[in-house]
Amino acid sequence: MKRQDLYFAIVMLAIFVPFFVSPELYAWYKTFNADHAMIMAFLKFSILATLGEMLGCRISTGNYTTPTFGALPRMVVWGLLGMAISMAMTVFSAGIPAFITAMGGEELVEAFKADGFSWGKLIVAFSISVMMNTFFAPVFMTFHKITDTHIAENGGSIKALFRPIAMRRHMVELNWDRQWSFIFKKTIPLFWYPAHTITFMLPGELRVLFAALLGVALGVILAIGARKK
């Protein structure tokens, strides 16, 4: 293990350990999360998802950052994307159970709302995950890829946040073959469907946090895909 790996591990421990050893801190987190959901979504994703991309960069290049990585602008972008994810989770977790109820699945929805595991809860959680990742995730993933390219083109500088994104050019130049064959076709059904099924089976206050932790996994998955390519 190199020194940089040790530093990375220390940072990860520093983020999570206090919540396990201090009931007061965890209670504060739950209260603040309930009162300021969007702020917490921004913070969770800006920190955890960026760390996930740094880990992916470590796997791909041997270093946690590169000259064009742009950790700070990535944190801001991930924070904003995290707010969008939190919104999508709220919309789909309310809308899909409403649709299931309209289709005569009241018992399934009641099981989904109850504590503990049940097959009804699993079915509804899986339905929410499939619908969210089928209709929201492709647009989200494509926009995220474009912002990464934009940040790299600006040398990883904070200026990337203030310069317009050449959306049309990036859309044309995007590697759609990889976007479809790996990002959409493989990661969505094989990873995100089951991962977000677990997410929606968790209590509401833990869902966005778990989704942000999945951002760490996303960084690793994309790094593995890049190496395979």
Lowest-pLDDT range of 28-32, 154-158, 216-220:
216-220
Instruction: Decide: residue 86, CB within 10 A, 0-12 exposed, 13-18 middle, 19+ buried.
Output: buried
Sign of CA dihedral 173, 178, 179, 181: positive
More confident position, 215 or 44: 44
| Structure confidence by residue, pLDDT tens digits, 181-214 | 988 999 899 999 999 999 999 988 788 888 888 8
pLDDT surpasses 80 at 220? no
Cα–Cα distance measured from residue 173 to residue 71, given in angstroms and rounded to the nearest whole number = 23
Long-range contacts of the stretch 210-216 (C-beta < 8 A, 24+)? 211/85, 211/86, 211/89, 212/41, 212/44, 212/45, 212/47, 212/48, 212/49, 212/82, 213/48, 215/45, 215/48, 215/49, 215/52, 215/53, 215/78, 216/48, 216/49, 216/51, 216/52, 216/55
User: Is there a contact between 195 and 217 (Cβ–Cβ < 8 Å)?
Assistant: yes
Per-residue pLDDT tens digits for 51-110: 988 988 888 888 899 999 999 999 999 999 999 999 999 999 999 999 999 999 999 999
The pLDDT value given to residue 28: 86
Alpha carbon of residue 219 to chain centroid? 10
* Secondary structure (3-state) at 28: helix
Q: What is the domain partition of the chain in residue ranges? A: 1-35, 38-228
DSSP 166: -
CA distance 13 to 182: 31
Give the CA distances from residue 124 to residues 59, 89, 164, 172, in Å, rounded to whole numbers and listed in that order: 36, 13, 40, 37
Per-residue pLDDT averaged across 118-129, rounded?
96
Average pLDDT over residues 140-146: 94
pTM (two decimals) = 0.89
